A and B are shown apart, each in its own frame.
Chain A
Amino acid sequence: MNAVSLRRLARLMRNDLLSAARPALYGTASLFGLTVISCVLIHTTRIPSGPVADLVIFGMCLIGGGLGMASMAFQGMRRPLERNRYLMLPVSNLERILSRYLLTGPLFVVYAVVAFVLFDQVAKLLVALWLDRSSPLFNPFAPPMKWLVFSYLLAHAVTLVGALCFRRHALLKTILFLLLVILVQILVENVTGRIFFPGDYTWSQFGSIRTSNVELIPWFAASWMNFILVAGLYTWLLYVAYQCLRDHEA
């Protein structure tokens, strides 16, 4: 048997989906409620309505809901009474992680977009009926959506690693870990800057006092390099998640 069999993967995904059906249903109901409430609030207050407001609401639902689900994707493996049964299912590790990655990542994005488009239409119809006000419908193909989805998928990969590495409060610990990484990165940047470009820094100020003209990584400006870097980081994160799953089995 191969490490990945499409038939087996589809069956595993169906099982995983059915196991998560109840929280997904509650999440969808919350999304509907949130969309209606936001729509009413936007039209009854001075908050500007329009595509930006729609994107903000959608982004909150996508990132909040999706990352929440991703952080709990491997909860069953943490429970000793469920763990053995789950790990003894005749599927490969790659299929285990692929199933939960696809369900909480790309497929969740599609699901969230479709649900939000529907709920947005219903909410705006209700607002038009009750308040006699109208606003443009949510456009899932608006240019900022691409960046929102990319950001989500990257954050999702990190959360998936966190879900496998941290036993409890995975999302909180992942966020704290990311904050720590950012803090360390800022510190390293400052220390390195002070060593190599002492003229750009003073001891009375934390950051650089002027924009450096030196391009540390000149090729970095190229967009295709950016893409390769992000894709590489993404693949590496998923590989780390796969290794974590294997290590956690022992």
Chain B
Amino acid sequence: MIDLESIAFAYTRKGSPLFPNLSLHLPAGTLCGLLGANGAGKSTLLRLISGLSFPVGGRCRVLGHEPCRRAPEFLAGVFLLPEEFQLPAVEAGTYAVRFGSLYPRFDEALFQRLLGELQIPRQQKLGTLSLGQKKKFLLAFGLATQARLMILDEPTNGLDIASKSQFRRVLIDQFHPERSFLISTHQAHDLQGLIDSVMVLAQGEILLHETVETMESRLQVTLESTEPRDALYTEKTLEGFKVVRPRRGMQESRLDLELVFGMVTSAAAQVRELFPRVAA
């Protein structure tokens, strides 16, 4: 679904490139979380994939198209929910009639159902909705377009606790083997239990891209009273130290995405040894 091969990208010609040589492969039927620190280039990567920014080198194929050519067929298959956006001062139904008609596979019935599930007021002008409601509205619209690749940039920003739960439920309901979700977020906890693979972007490259299942089979998270020296990553909490180690034995532990992110950024070399797929 997404194939990036040695992509190079820089915002200025003279400045150092944000991505000197970035490669990425994301198959169809994936719910992938994209994690990274501020300024790591998460939004830029999403823009490159959606064809809003053009790489200066390398090969980029998404849904079998070159995103920078911006073919209508490609754009109909990709839906981007940006972090910040503005909606016109029209009602939800009017918006769907106007813009939904441009998408060849737009499902009006699904859109109406999702509006109900996400509790979006139908009679209110979109411009007057709260940020969270606007995000839920655009998510409903995006899912109704039947886009095969849904790119969500910080989708849970501005969502209250109930809305986050609705968001997760709707995403799981609308997930199928032909569709992929690429979700960029700082709120790693919001994706806990939702995503099936994790991608960590740092220093202009993908430091880790692995399925949650594989990570759980190779890592173990424990709570210890003292800080160990042999851990991949430790985080001090009120109860003690949360410790991430390579897994030994059969003991299973649930992966904490924030700990994974901390581990990847602080022990990149060891992570590469444990998960050599990206390095290879």
A79 within 8 A of B: yes
Query: Chain B binding site: helix, strand, loop or mixed by DSSP?
Result: loop
A90–B102 CB distance below 8 A: yes
Q: How many B residues are at the interface, by size bracket?
A: 20 to 34
A211 within 8 A of B: no
CB-CB nearest in chain A for B151: A88
B102–A87 CB distance below 8 A: no
Residues of chain B within 8 A of A14, CB atoms compared:
98
Which residues 49-89 of A have a CB within 8 angstroms of B? 79-82, 84-85, 87-89
Q: Which one, A79, A89, A249, A250, contacts B102 given CB within 8 A? A: A89
Given contacts A88-B79, A90-B102, 15 further A-B contacts (CB under 8 A): A1-B72, A11-B102, A15-B99, A18-B98, A81-B85, A84-B82, A84-B85, A85-B82, A85-B85, A88-B75, A90-B103, A91-B72, A92-B71, A93-B70, A250-B68
B52–A84 CB distance below 8 A: yes
Q: Output the least CB separation between A240 and chain B (Å).
A: 19
- Residues on A lying within 8 angstroms of B by beta carbon are 1, 5, 8, 11-12, 14-15, 18-19, 79-82, 84-85, 87-93, 95, 249-250
CA distance A228 to B52 in the complex (A): 37
Residues of chain B within 8 A of A81, CB atoms compared:
84-86
Query: Chain A binding site: helix, strand, loop or mixed by DSSP?
Result: helix
Q: Output the least CB separation between B74 and chain A (Å).
A: 8
Closest 8 CB pairs of A and B: A90-B76, A81-B86, A90-B75, A250-B54, A1-B73, A84-B82, A90-B72, A1-B72
The contact string, 1 if C-beta is below 8 Å from chain A, for chain B 253-279, is: 000000000000000000000000000
Residues of chain B within 8 A of A89, CB atoms compared:
75, 99, 102
Residues of chain B within 8 A of A80, CB atoms compared:
84
Residues of chain A within 8 A of B79, CB atoms compared:
88
Residues of chain A within 8 A of B101, CB atoms compared:
11
A1–B99 CB distance below 8 A: no
A-B contact pairs, 13 of them (CB 8 A): A1-B71, A5-B72, A11-B101, A79-B86, A84-B85, A88-B50, A90-B72, A90-B73, A90-B102, A90-B103, A93-B70, A250-B54, A250-B68
